[in-house]
Copies of this chain bind each other. A is one copy, B any other.
Amino acid sequence: MRPAQAIMACSLMITELLVSELTVPYHREMPKPKQAAGRPRDGQIDHAIARATREVLAERGYAKLTVDAVAARAGVGKAAIYRRFATKQEMIFAATVHDMEEPPPPDSGSLRGDLAAVCATIADQLGTAAPDVLHGLLADLHGDSALGARFTGTFIERERFVIDTVLDRALARGDLARRPDTAEVHAQLIGPIFFWLMILGGDRDQVPAFSRTVADTVAASLAA
C-alpha cells in the first residue's frame, strides 16, 4: 500500500466516524454521558419536531414558519422545542440539513469521473432543497455565529473533505501534476450549480446535464 492510499483509507474511516456521530440528533445541551439523571428526553419528540418543521416549511415557507405552528403540529409544547434548540433557526437547521451525508464517491478511475460523481451528488441535494429554506438559512447564519460555525462544519467541511479525497486520488493516480487549492475547486465545481438553481432559478431538469458539463470543464482545466 502506498502512502497516498494509506492516507485515503484513513480519511475514509474518519469520515465514517464523523458521519455516524452526527446522525445523533443535535441537542442544545447534551446530557453528560456519565449518567442520565432525571427523565431522559423522548426520542419520539425529536422526530416529531423535525417532521413537523419540514411539513410547515413545505406548506408555509421559511418566512412564515412559526415555532408555535411547529409545536402545535408536532403535538408538543414550545418548551420541548426550546429545550433542544436555542433558536428557531437552530431547529430548522437541524430538521433540514443536519443529516445530509456525502461519503466520497467510489473511485471511478479518473478525476473526471470522480468530479462528475461528486457534482451529481451535491447537485441532487441542492435540487431537492427548497430554495427559500436554503436562502433563509443562509441569511440567518449571519448574526448567529454558533449556527454559522455549525453550518460550515457540517455542510462545507464535509463537501470539502469529499473534494479533498477526490483530489488525493487523482494525485496518487498521476492525473494531477500538483495539488490545486481545494476551495477553488469547490467553488468552481459547486458554484455554477448553486448559482443556476438558487439565483437564476434555472430548470431542475437540466441540472444533470449542466452538472456534467461543469465537471468536465473543471477536470479539463485542472489537468492542463
Contact = CB atoms under 8 A, between A and B. Distances in A.
Nearest to A202: B183
A163 to B, nearest CB: 12
A156 B201 CA distance: 10
A142 B65 CA distance: 13
Contacts of A220: 220-221, 224
A135 interface: yes
A111 interface: no
Given A63-B142, A64-B143, A132-B139, A194 B191 contact: yes
Interface in A163-194: 183-184, 186-188, 190-194
Interface stretch (A1-9, A24-32, A209-217): A209-217
Interface string A62-100: 111000000000000000000000000000000000000
A213 B184 contact: yes
Task: Give the copy number.
Answer: 4
Given A188-B214, A221-B220, A221-B221, A139 B63 contact: yes
A191 B183 contact: no
Contacts of A156: 199-200
A81 to B, nearest CB: 16
A196 interface: yes
Contact of A135 (B62, B132, B142, B213): B142
Contacts of A193: 187, 191
A162 to B, nearest CB: 14
A36 to B, nearest CB: 15
A186 B188 CA distance: 13
